Every structure is written in structure tokens, then in C-alpha cells.
Chain A
Amino acid sequence: EVQVVESGGGLVQPGGSLRLSCAASGFTFSSYEMNWVRQAPGKGLEWVAYISSSGSTISYADSVKGRFTISRDNAKNSLYLQMNSLRAEDTAVYYCARGRTGDVWGQGTTVTVSS
């Protein structure tokens, strides 16, 4: 079965750090671009970051640039999002999504930034 599963969310204080993971299975992970997308409570979808299949090309939303780092380990079929200097406005469900069309999404992992 083709799937991606996010993990690593939790409660963190403002200014803190968190590392999210996305484990892929059922497909050739190294052949696909990947994205992180988030959704704040009661809000719409917001794209966060993109990484090419090899990891050589990376893009970030302006709202997270300089604070978040996307990476991948194709040998481990895993995608990561390192989140530093977290703010209250980063509170959201974070999803990983496969490819340019987003044809496969995980169930999401919840990040809450609060003191």
C-alpha cells in the first residue's frame, strides 16, 4: 500500500524546536518530489516547503524561511522538517504530500506552540 506517515509533533514553547518525520512506503521514494503543507486550526491549507527527489532543489514559504529546514534520506525512505524558533502562528497540523500533484498525503501530525 502506498502511504506516508508523519510523526514528531507535540507541544513546544515559543522559541523552541521540533523535528517532524514522514515515513514513506509502498513506492520508490527516491523518485518523488515531496512537500510539507500545514493547516492552522480552522484555517485553509498553507504550503510550507518543497524538496526535489534528489534533495538538490529546495523551496520554502516566506513565513518559515530561515527557521525551517526540509531534508530527506532516500536510503531510509524518509522526509524531515526541522523547525526552529517556533512561534504561536506555527501551530497547525503538518502534512507531508507526495509529488507535484500531491496525490498521496499522510494523516498529519499536530504541532502546538504555546507557553
Chain B
Amino acid sequence: DIQMTQSPSSLSASVGDRVTITCRASQSISSYLNWYHQKPGKAPRLLIYGASSLQSGVPSRFSGSGSGTDFTLTISSLQPEDFATYYCQQSYSTMWTFGQGTKVEI
């Protein structure tokens, strides 16, 4: 199985901060890497697919980069609605695996 490791597991930030979350795969997954965020009691929402493509309707302050085994999600200017848990996920295999999550707190 492909293991996904996210860091950090949590972070504290302020509105307007630039935030970066990293994700590492245990083997090369090309660009088959997706990013989601999830608010308490809600379903995950796709932000970035294919490592760097912005999902329709997602604000442009979100961006993704990387390929192979190392990936990054960047929020250029954190907004109040961005406080949530973020997950990376590989879709290189039909057997998805998720990172453990990064909780972004005020």
C-alpha cells in the first residue's frame, strides 16, 4: 500500500498568514495527488486535484505543487473560513490512501 505522510499534524495561524502543508508519498505517485479540507460535521471538499489543478469554485488563494513523492498545499492569505482540517490523498492506485490530516487553528 502507498503510505501518505502529512506535516505538520496541526498548526496555529492568523488571518492573512501564508500557510504551507506538506505531504509525502511512500513511492512515486506522479501527480495523482488531491487535497481536501473538512470542517467539523461536514463532508470533505476537494480543493486541488492532480497535484496542482484548482477545483472549480475553489478560491485562488489555494494552490498545490509537487510531483513524484513530495507535494505542497499553500494558502496564500488565510481567511476565517479556512480554519479546518486538511487532507492529502493519492489516487495513483484505485486503493486510495489519505494523509493523517493537518488541523489549521487560530
Contacts and interface: CB of A to CB of B under 8 A. Distances in A.
A62 B34 CA distance: 22
B50 A44 contact: no
Contacts, number: 56
B44 A102 contact: yes
Interface string B44-84: 11100110000100000000000000000000000000000
Given A50-B96, A57-B94, A95 B87 contact: no
Given A59-B95, A61-B95, A103-B55, A44 B100 contact: yes
A102 B44 CA distance: 9
Nearest to B99: A44
Interface residues on B, range: 20 to 34
A72 to B, nearest CB: 14
A46 B42 CA distance: 15
Contacts of A47: 95-98
The secondary structure that dominates the B interface is loop
B91 interface: yes
B89 A45 contact: yes
A106 B42 CA distance: 9
B101 A44 contact: yes
B98 A95 contact: no
Interface string A90-104: 000001000011110
Interface in A63-115: 95, 100-103, 105-108
Contacts of B97: 47
A35 interface: yes
Contact of B46 (A44, A57, A102): A102
A52 to B, nearest CB: 8
